[in-house]
Amino acid sequence: MVKVGIVGGTGYTGVELLRLLAQHPQAQVVAITSRSEAGLPVADMYPNLRGHYDGLAFSVPDTKTLAACDVVFFATPHGVAHSLAGELLAAGTKVIDLSADFRLQDADLWAKWYGQPHGAPELLKDAVYGLPEVNREQIRQARLIAVPGCYPTATQLGFLPLLEAGLADNSRLIADCKSGVSGAGRGASVGSLFCEAGESMKAYAVNGHRHLPEITQGLRRAAGGDVGLTFVPHLTPMIRGIHSTLYATVVDKSVDLQALFEKRYADEPFVDVMPAGSHPETRSVRGANVCRIAVHRPQGGDLVVVLSVIDNLVKGASGQAVQNLNILFGLDERMGLSHAGLMP
């Protein structure tokens, strides 16, 4: 049984971790922290977990308690894992970080996009980017795993087959992405209010979103060189979901793109390449750790359109974190994650 600690368990990714781990036969949550809610039983904050975590209460973060765990998840705002991860790693505890703290390998680039100095640059050499479809073998040996962001997960999985095969014009990639409101987190903000987000859709951060350097970093690895990416995120009036519409120009129109995508993801348990002509819906992956993809070439031209959908809280965050846990501890990668999406 893997003993699990969670730092920052009161947000949406924290409660999603708890929901998924409640179904996991080989994981036991023994510690969960929140300075603001210390002493409050978990089931009092989240009644959906009644009967699953009786006796478990939020506590103030304590390094000694957390270091007694086999693995600690950080479901925290950026900057928090910087201050605690080193001590836990030194104690032999594995760290799986859902924040952005260790996703970028360049500390100066991280500081530029997150508005503060990187708090643990010495740990970046140990950080493995936790996209299993790319780094599965490195994850198996990792001490510190940086779970990818939601937009980066959907976007990279959609582009990877084209870039790895050398088929795309890497200088002109476009990612037109839509996210549900839960992607903004549980903290109160005017833009996330129902009256503000409902019956509306808007683009934001067109001149630069924090996920842009993360996506670019992954696409460069896949392409083996520089890429030119335009990334435009949008807020949509739904709770969960990411829909990425991706555009690339192909240099060889003779390639069977459907076969290319099916072959690339044939052995991936959490990527579903849909039949030719399909249009995946975000509701089909709601609550599930699945990226559903369809590839199109309109009018048989050289422009490829890839449709990629995920649940931003599952494959885009907590589900992918549990997938990493399974790989890290030599468990069946699908353990605790095999449930279907919720419909309607």
**Is 291 a catalytic site residue?**
no
Distance in angstroms (rounded) separating the CA atoms of residues 256 and 300: 11
34 contacts 10 by C-beta, under 8 angstroms: yes
Tell which residue, 170, 169, 159, 172, has the closest CA to residue 260: 159
Using alpha carbons only, give the angle 173, 175, 181 rounded to the nearest 5 degrees. Answer: 165
Alpha helices in the chain (DSSP H): 12-21, 42-45, 63-67, 80-90, 107-114, 132-140, 150-164, 194-197, 212-223, 257-264, 319-328
Q: Which of 150, 177, 195, 291 is catalytic?
A: 150
3 state SS of 49? helix
Q: Is 4 exposed, middle or buried (0-12, 13-18, 19+ CB in 10 A)?
A: buried
Distance in angstroms (rounded) separating the CA atoms of residues 104 and 127: 9
At 136, the amino acid letter reads R
3 state SS of 160? helix
CA atoms within 13 A on the CB side of 309: 19
Contacts of 194 (CB under 8 A, 6+ apart): none
Distance in angstroms (rounded) separating the CA atoms of residues 177 and 202: 11
Catalytic residue ranges = 150
